Chains A and B, each alone.
Chain A
Amino acid sequence: MKVLRYFAVALDSIRANKLRSSLTMLGIIIGVAAVLTTMGIGSGAAASITEQIESQGTNLLSVSPTGGSSTLTMGDAEALSDRSLHPALLTVVPEYTASATLTNGSSESQTQVVGVLPAYAPVRNLEAAAGRFFSEEETEANLRVVVLGGTVAADLFAVAAEALNQQVRINGEPFQVVGVLKESGSAGFGGPDSRAFVPIGVAQGRLFNAPRYRGDYTITAMSIQADGTRMEEAERQTELTLRLRHRLGPNDDNDFSIFNQASLLELAGEVTATLTVFLGSIGAISLLVGGIGIMNIMLVSVTERTREIGLRKAVGAHDRDILLQFLIESLVLATIGGLIGMGISFGLAFAVGRIPNFPFSVIIEPQALLMALGVSSASGFIFGIYPAMRATRLDPIEALRFE
Chain B
Amino acid sequence: MSDYSSENGGPAPVIEIRDLTKTYLMGQTEVHALRGVSLTICEGEYVAIVGASGSGKSTLMNMIGLLDRSTSGSYRIRGEEVSRLSRNRMADLRNREIGFVFQSFNLLARTSARRQVQLPLFYAGVSERQSARRAVEALQRVGLGDRVDHRPDELSGGQQQRVAIARALVNNPSLLLADEPTGALDSRTGEELLALFDDLHRQGMTLVVVTHDDHVAHRAERIVTLRDGVILSDEPVRERASSTPIANRANALAAGDGQPV
Interface residues of A (CB under 8 A from B): 2, 5, 8-9, 12, 16-17, 304, 307-308, 310-319, 321, 395-397, 400
Contact = CB atoms under 8 A, between A and B. Distances in A.
Nearest to B95: A316
B115 A316 contact: no
B94 A314 contact: yes
Contacts of A304: 109
A308 B108 CA distance: 6
26 contacts: A5-B122, A16-B110, A16-B111, A17-B109, A17-B110, A304-B109, A307-B106, A308-B108, A308-B109, A310-B106, A311-B106, A312-B123, A313-B94, A314-B100, A315-B94, A315-B95, A316-B91, A316-B95, A316-B120, A316-B124, A317-B123, A318-B87, A318-B88, A319-B88, A400-B102, A400-B106
Contacts of B192: none
A328 to B, nearest CB: 14
Interface string B102-116: 100010111100010
* Residue with the greatest number of chain B CB neighbours at <10 A, chosen from A5, A313, A314: A314
A396 B96 CA distance: 16
Contacts of A310: 106
A316 B170 CA distance: 13
Contacts of A5: 122, 128
Contacts of A319: 87-88
B110 A312 contact: no
A400 B108 CA distance: 12
A60 to B, nearest CB: 68
B123 A315 contact: yes
Interface of B: 62, 65, 67-69, 87-88, 91-92, 94-96, 100, 102, 106, 108-111, 115, 119-120, 122-125, 128, 167, 171
Nearest to A15: B110
Contacts of A321: 123
A2 B127 CA distance: 10
A396 B109 CA distance: 18
A321 B94 CA distance: 15
Contact of A396 (B67, B124, B125): B67
A313 B91 contact: yes
A311 B67 contact: no
A314 B87 contact: no
Nearest to B88: A318
Nearest to A311: B106
Contacts of B96: 316
A221 to B, nearest CB: 75
A315 B108 contact: no
B106 A316 contact: no
A310 B106 CA distance: 9
Contacts of B102: 400
A315 B119 CA distance: 7
B167 A315 contact: yes
A316 B92 contact: yes
Contacts of B108: 16, 308, 311
Contacts of B125: 2
A12 B111 contact: yes
* Residue with the greatest number of chain A CB neighbours at <10 A, chosen from B68, B106, B122, B167: B122
Contacts of B67: 314, 395-397, 400
A376 to B, nearest CB: 26
Contacts of B65: 314
Contacts of B106: 307, 310-311, 314, 400
Given A12-B111, A16-B108, A397-B62, A316 B68 contact: no
